[in-house]
A and B are shown apart, each in its own frame.
Chain A
């Protein structure tokens, strides 16, 4: 669960980096998207090591496998918790539990649902608010985030993601044996806040810029 979680966080950081290419301009952004899919005339990522267009499917299969393993482990831990905690307390006061730790499980479910919505919108293009299926990635981006409700839904999506990353980042390193002193605990927690904040800001900048018509050509 820790390993798949960290892989998913690494993916998020790369995804965020890709989104920020929007600020360089439509051409750079579209070129990057086509390069990932191996849809360029000159080839794409990892060509000629892999045949044309293979990388994206191998990558998608790998991410899906990570996601399924992550959810499977979470379900096992959840089942053990339901058994382990026994009957509920009449009154409960928590001293340490953070909001992010508290929302790990329900937040994880919300995250999975929002992710499906995200893929239906920008990958399969089944839901098309403000853009056409034939649009290039940049026009799709600009079209979608011109709608206030898409932006609002995206803010919720990113808040859920970052809360999950906040506890997940610290928890993953602890599970892997990183927390062996009070100092390590402070550092890992601080890093978790930093990574969560970085991901939130990095993902929110492009849509907000589109919505407010700032720096978008």
Chain B
């Protein structure tokens, strides 16, 4: 395959950025998108050009580290039937001779560090505000010590699969982190262990979300459609329900 890449290059957080064009030959359609970028970087290094910085780690779609916007679609899902992470996207998804635009996540809460790498610490601040349960440490309790209803525990598990990649924020026209926040809210709200701090958690996490510079949700649905873990839009509905209920509880402010 022969492709043309237009990649966002930005030297540092405050440096101006621009799209740069690179030609790449002999790309195998069996390569993952990140392997293709590796190939490009090897060529750039040989030509004494600064390689393109991008985040990656496990390369098997479970860590949440990678993620770029490809042709205007987070993780390059575009119109594919299968949700994916960037590392699990393969070059066979592109036509020979394609011109591919590669950009970093763009959101007020995710400043660009370099090229395609963004700072996602805003997610950590949201989790620190309430994405946990308070229990004594020590030996782990037996798994069946606290009964959890089947339907709720399934829902909790589905929401716990969020890998925190940030595609939801990148795809949102409002730059909102509601899908991420709601995945954690729904995960813990469905389980018996999450009940004592339920009202406090939703208030604290939504406040931290807004303070971190994310925008507000307007129920468009772009986030859920690019989520590699298929966190549903219904999770935001659960967050809204919990938030309204929490207003009638004394916990927090």
A174 near B: Cβ within 8 Å? yes
B180 near A: Cβ within 8 Å? no
Contact partners of B216 in chain A: CB under 8 A: 76-77, 80-81, 84
The residue in chain A whose Cβ has the minimal distance to the Cβ of B73 is A93
Q: B234 and A95: CB pair below 8 A? A: no
Which of A12-20, A55-63, A121-129, A177-185 faces chain B? Answer: A177-185
Interface residues of B, count at CB 8 A? 46
B222 near A: Cβ within 8 Å? yes
Query: Of A80, A95, A184, A185, which is within 8 A of B210 by CB?
Result: A80
Q: A174 and B236: CB pair below 8 A? A: yes
Q: B236 and A179: CB pair below 8 A? A: yes
Q: A180 and B241: CB pair below 8 A? A: yes
Cα-based distance from A97 to B219 in the complex (angstroms): 9
Q: B107 and A86: CB pair below 8 A? A: yes
B51 near A: Cβ within 8 Å? no
Which of B84-92, B136-144, B169-177 faces chain A? Answer: B169-177
- Shortest CB-to-CB span from A81 to chain B, Å, is 4
Q: A91 and B72: CB pair below 8 A? A: yes
Query: Of B71, B111, B240, which is within 8 A of A93 by CB?
Result: B71
Cα-based distance from A126 to B111 in the complex (angstroms): 52
- Shortest CB-to-CB span from B68 to chain A, Å, is 11
B106 near A: Cβ within 8 Å? yes
| B-facing residues in A45-99 (Cβ within 8 Å) | 76-77, 80-98
Query: Of B111, B222, B233, B236, which is within 8 A of A94 by CB?
Result: B222
- Shortest CB-to-CB span from B120 to chain A, Å, is 13
Q: A96 and B234: CB pair below 8 A? A: no
- Shortest CB-to-CB span from B30 to chain A, Å, is 25
B109 near A: Cβ within 8 Å? yes
The residue in chain A whose Cβ has the minimal distance to the Cβ of B174 is A81
Q: A179 and B244: CB pair below 8 A? A: no
Q: Total number of A-B contacts with CB less than 8 angstroms? A: 129
Q: A85 and B106: CB pair below 8 A? A: yes
B237 near A: Cβ within 8 Å? yes
Which range contains the number of A residues in contact with the other chain? 35 or more
Given the interface contacts A93-B73, A185-B234, does A85 sit within 8 Å of B175 by beta carbon? yes
The residue in chain B whose Cβ has the minimal distance to the Cβ of A171 is B219
Q: B103 and A89: CB pair below 8 A? A: yes
Q: B71 and A91: CB pair below 8 A? A: yes
The residue in chain A whose Cβ has the minimal distance to the Cβ of B79 is A95
Query: Of A85, A90, A178, which is within 8 A of B103 by CB?
Result: A90
A104 near B: Cβ within 8 Å? yes
Cα-based distance from A89 to B107 in the complex (angstroms): 10
A213 near B: Cβ within 8 Å? no
Contact partners of B108 in chain A: CB under 8 A: 83-86
Contact partners of A174 in chain B: CB under 8 A: 219, 233, 236-237, 240
Contact partners of A89 in chain B: CB under 8 A: 69, 72, 103, 106
Q: A179 and B233: CB pair below 8 A? A: yes
Q: A84 and B175: CB pair below 8 A? A: yes
- Shortest CB-to-CB span from B222 to chain A, Å, is 5
Cα-based distance from A101 to B225 in the complex (angstroms): 15
| Interchain residue pairs with CB less than 8 A apart (7) | A83-B175, A83-B215, A84-B172, A90-B8, A101-B219, A102-B173, A178-B237
Q: A81-B175, A84-B172 are in contact. List 13 more A-B contacts (CB 8 A).
A: A77-B216, A81-B176, A86-B107, A86-B108, A86-B109, A90-B6, A90-B8, A90-B19, A91-B103, A93-B71, A95-B226, A101-B221, A174-B236
Residue numbers of B with Cβ under 8 A of A are: 6, 8, 19, 69, 71-73, 77-79, 101, 103, 106-111, 171-176, 210, 213-216, 218-222, 224-226, 232-234, 236-238, 240-241, 244
